[in-house]
Amino acid sequence: MMEQLSSWFTYDPSTPLLFTQQYFWVFFALVMGAYSLMYKNTARRNIFLFAVSLFFYYKTSGFYFIILLFSTLADYSIGWAIYSNKVKWQRQTLVALSVVVNLFVLGYFKYAYFVADFIHDLTGIELEVINHFALWTNETISTNFIFDRILLPVGISFFTFQTISYSVDIYRGHIKPVKNIMDFGFYVSFFPQLVAGPIVRASEFVPQLYEPYKLSKERAGLAVFWILNGLLKKLVLADYLAVQFIDRVFDNPQLYSGFETMSALFGYSLQVYADFSGYTDVAIGIAMLMGFTLPKNFNSPYKATSVADFWRRWHLSLSTWLRDYLYIPLGGNREGSIASYTIVFAFFLMIALIVGNPWLSIGLAALFALGFVLMRYSRGTERWVNTNINLMLTMVLGGLWHGSSWNFVTWGALNGVGLVVYKNWKKISPWADKTKAYNKAIGLVLTLVFITFTRAWFRSPTWEGAIGILSKIPSDFGWVTAGEVLVANWKFYAVLILGYLIHWIPDVYKEKMRQWVSSASVGTLFLLTVTAIAVIYQILSAEVQPFIYFAF
């Protein structure tokens, strides 16, 4: 008994604290029980939730919670320094310090191997990557971390972007610094959204730290809706599709026909949406029960009729973050910047050095020079080039945010190309009028196909693997055996089609469903909860799949 009790309070990498485990809901029930005793005092409430969130992160990532504490302390101090300082260049220096510190932490843990491999491919120099944090904790507090490789702390990409937004928002005058470090620690570490988003901006969340707790019956009902909706998306839809078909195909794509790999790609598009949006739905519902509002992160992305429309609907907290903290500072759609030109030049140089082809180097240099000349003599060309450069850079860096590999760079670049092509094509497109149903249908299908095919690089472990999967579709489609595949995997295809059909239900009906649930009686909510749990247990796979975005 004591051993089991001890395991609840110690870190075990095989049993992280996840929404999909019964242990989490016991934990959450205990948290809410204690919360009910102190929610009226905002200071005490924030300290309690900060402590609970640290425990949650410790159970998820072990002693990496020290990294979270470091980011909290650093940006809390920098935020006050920015606010107190009235000299512009000093304030700008402090903002730059916040960005550098956060990106250094993120880069060290997430991109060390990527950089080491790049240097090795370029120069042949073999760099040994050592986890100095693990080495330090082993020597200081006698832990047993593996120090000869770097493990990625869960959620580091999310909370570093949050701390950057805090410093920048103070500099821009959007918010004032929080009153004390406990409040800031709570903002950074709020456990429902800590490890997989949504990314919460300081200007959106900090004011809530000092608002009194409010939870109406309707809001509680809506919270229940979001939690059940998210769990059903994740455990019934995403995990079922993955276990029944998708994982098998991607693990051994050479064994399957082009029809099967294409089916797996469209299945993965639905899986990654249901998995990620399922997590954020649960996070939104849990936060709502505690009196906090998290931003909406998805808006039916596969209803998009263009690539631009898709990115206005998909992972909204990241898309808008990249727009406001990267795309616009780079110059947006109006002008270029030294940063954008430097990144483009470095990118061209990097490609040339990796490929090692002198003609490619000459061609890229000529392209860069031609663009520079045209921009000097044509204001329209200059604006067009700057807009598209900034857009491409934002998408490439957004791809790199997802993972430290050329697969994610390629995925981001392809989406950038899709955006650039759409922005220029829509000016002359005969199908631009989306008020017409057939134009809307054409746009929806083309967008879904494009987004799905780019996911080959998102899902495949290697760049070559993505090419291999896509090349099978035209070269070995398997028309003869397609019927047999459909019959043998009819459950997978039935769930896949049903998932897309539910996704495409008009928003007005989905809103009516949310309103009905939020206004339902306690007895009805209880019945819905029991029914949802029964469905989950009937369909639940033998092994619950980890949340996809935990890797980012």
Q: Do residues 167 and 77 make contact, with C-beta atoms less than 8 angstroms apart?
A: no
Exposure string of 89-104, with b = 16+ CB inside 10 Å and e = fewer, is: eebeebbebbbebbee
Integer Cα distance of 459 and 94 in angstroms: 38
- List, as one string, the DSSP characters of 82-107: HHH---HHHHHHHHHHHHHHHHHHHH
Residue type, 128: E
Token digits of residue 48: 């309690």
Q: Which residues contact 373 (CB under 8 A, 6 or more apart)?
A: none
Integer Cα distance of 328 and 179 in angstroms: 30
Q: Do residues 317 and 298 make contact, with C-beta atoms less than 8 angstroms apart?
A: no
Token digits of residue 505: 């239900």
Question: What is the chain's percent helix, strand, coil content, to nearest 5?
Answer: 75, 0, 25
Q: HSE, CB side, 13 Å, CA atoms: give it for residue 302.
A: 22
Q: HSE, CB side, 13 Å, CA atoms: give it for residue 281.
A: 24
Residue 304 CB neighbour total at 10 angstroms: 20
Nearest to 544 by CA among 536, 533, 534, 552: 536
Q: Do residues 144 and 11 make contact, with C-beta atoms less than 8 angstroms apart?
A: no
Integer Cα distance of 240 and 391 in angstroms: 36
Q: Do residues 299 and 316 make contact, with C-beta atoms less than 8 angstroms apart?
A: yes
Q: Do residues 485 and 259 make contact, with C-beta atoms less than 8 angstroms apart?
A: yes
Given 120, 174, 315, 402, the catalytic residue: 402
Annotated catalytic residue 402: yes
Instruction: Report CA-CA distances (Å) from 24 to 20, 31, 32.
Output: 8, 10, 12
Q: Do residues 134 and 152 make contact, with C-beta atoms less than 8 angstroms apart?
A: no
Which residues have a catalytic role annotated?
402
